[in-house]
Structure formats: C-alpha cells, structure tokens
A and B are shown apart, each in its own frame.
Chain A
C-alpha cells in the first residue's frame, strides 16, 4: 500500500427527489419500481476508487436504496444512517454481492460482480456473524489468504490476527469466541490480502470500549495509508471518532454528505423541539415568546410547555436565566427530537 495525498473534498450534493409514486415509511419507501432515470452528471476525481451512479435496489415493492450517486477515493468514509436505512444493501451492492435494480457500481472502473480481479482488491466485513465455526481463527483467515492467492497465507494470517489483537496460536474453535472476537476475525480475513477498497458493515459491533478504540485507530490508519475505507454505522459518536467524511443515508436516499463537522452542524442547525417543565408554564411561555429564536410554543399543562427553536444551543444556554428573571422555577429541560432517527427524518424531509 502506498501513501497517497488526501482525497479532494466531495462536492455537496442535493439529494435527489424521491422516486415517482414513492411515499415515506418508517424505514423505506414503498413504491412501484421507478423507471430508469437518466444518469446524473458527476465529475470524477483522478484517484477515484469507487463510483456509484444512480444506484437503486428494490425488493418487490419495497425500495431499499433509491437513486444514490457518489464517488470515493482513498480515505475513510462513513455511511451513517438508522437501522434499515439501506446502508448494508448499498455496501453489498458495492461489493458485488447483490446486483443493483438500477444504476451502476464501478470499483477501479470495473463491475465487481463480473470482474474477479477487482474482487481481489476488495475486502469486506459483512454484518452477519456467521463464520466457519469449527475452524480455528488462524485457519479461517489463512483460507481467505489461500483463496486470494497469497504465497504465504498462514504467515500473513498471523500478521493480521495480531493486528486485530487476536492470538494466532489460539487452538479454540471460532464457535467458542465472543461476539467481539468474531468481529475481529472478520476484520482480519478482510485485511489479509491488503485490499484497496475495504467495506466494513458495522465493524464496531460487539467490541468492548478498548477494542473499539483500537479498531477505530486501525480504520483511521488504513485510510491514512491510502485505502478507500467505507464504514457503515448507525452511531453518530462512532463516526465522529473515525474523523471521516460522512454520507447520511436515510430511507434509502443519500440525505447529506460532507465532512463530519458539516454534517454535525447541519444536524445542530435544524429546528429543535424541547419540552420545558417549570413551576409556571404559562408565565415562562409568555416570557419566552418575547425573546428571539422561538419558532413555536405550546403550553401543555400548568407545568409543561413545548418549544420549537431554530437555535437549540442558545436556548439551552439562556433558559435558566430567563426562568429566573421571570421568577419561575425550572424543573426540567428535555430535547424531544435529539435522537438520530429524528435527525435523519429531518435531513430526508428537507
């Protein structure tokens, strides 16, 4: 692997409109398959590893991925989205494990489903836990080396097992391993042939905090070494630690993409709904309405009111002083839509 300069920034992209006849549901659009859309023009970078163009996947009437396009070069990119958003389906299409219903995936300019040489440049950590249970870790990983045509698969298997902090001499079968250990075995088999495109589907699942830190550092170092790493996650904090570019996928659509801090800001800048409990909701509500940054306010009962604000940070910083000035005792301030699901819904609905 060679060091390459950091990838050019990804131009921000306006999310495409939903497919015709589509209506949003909790996790996917239920729609008739859309007719083929003309390809969106997308400028390709010189060091582009992966090019996804107008990619869609539907299962019967359920659209899992809807018309997404992006290109990636070396470095770490996180696919962020709630469970059922289409992240795994997208990763599987990138790896060639599933054929797109519409659109194309090119890895190093070729179709990974058809070009076996390209498959040899891809490493994948699938989400499912299943491994060859009765094998030892060294045997399982070495088998991956044999199938990738390595000269010394066992030697390399020892190296990658040590990289993921597993003992190559462990004689126990994989079936006796914990979830976290199995996860690391999966990562080891994906690394054995030094892939140039590494696809990791929820790779931190099952790892303890120390292992999470180690795995995060490993992923970052691979990205810095020039590997194109695509990591799927539904946990914002994980993505933050990867320090990566982020693509937010929600309801099968690419809702936003860019630097993590841009995405974080986008999430923070959206209107927030906050419930405030106090000794006198009517008085506090009246005072709040005289201030700025309040988009809406509902008094629920004598104690509770719900505030819609465009500037949640300022609101949280000033609410105590406002209440004190109004001689109202503040009991509780609780964000009602701070979970990722709400954020994703907002991004999709923009």
Chain B
C-alpha cells in the first residue's frame, strides 16, 4: 500500500497542475472582464443606497442553522449584541 502512495500523489499533483493550467489558460480576458463589468453594474444600480442603515430597526427573523435548528434574532438579542454577516455561499 505504502508503495502506491507516491504514484497517487503524483497523479493528484498532475491533475491539480492540469486544473491550474486550464484555469490560467481559460480565465484571463473573458471571465475577469465579465466579473469586473458585473461588479460595476451592481455599483451603479444604487443597491447599496437601499440597504439597512445605522439607526434603523432590524427585522425579526428565524432561520435554520447547519443542523436544522431554528435561530431567532430576538433570542440572540436577549443574550447580547448580534453581529450578522451575509455571504453569498461557499462553492
């Protein structure tokens, strides 16, 4: 078994190198430009002017956590201050 390990590692390394090469080869112009354009469109859309501002009242909510248990904002606030961070996701 131990003898097979270097071979597997080499194959994985080759695969990773291949992925990286194809990423570098295909990403440049089109993807980076599109991402840049989409970011600029969001900035000019005025969306950031409509977000919840300091001094306003936060909405009450209840959402399931990673194991499906409901977490309610007012319950959290009964214990302390809530730091709420929104993220798009992890893929």
Q: Do A and B come from one complex?
A: no
Binding site for A on B (CB under 8 A): none
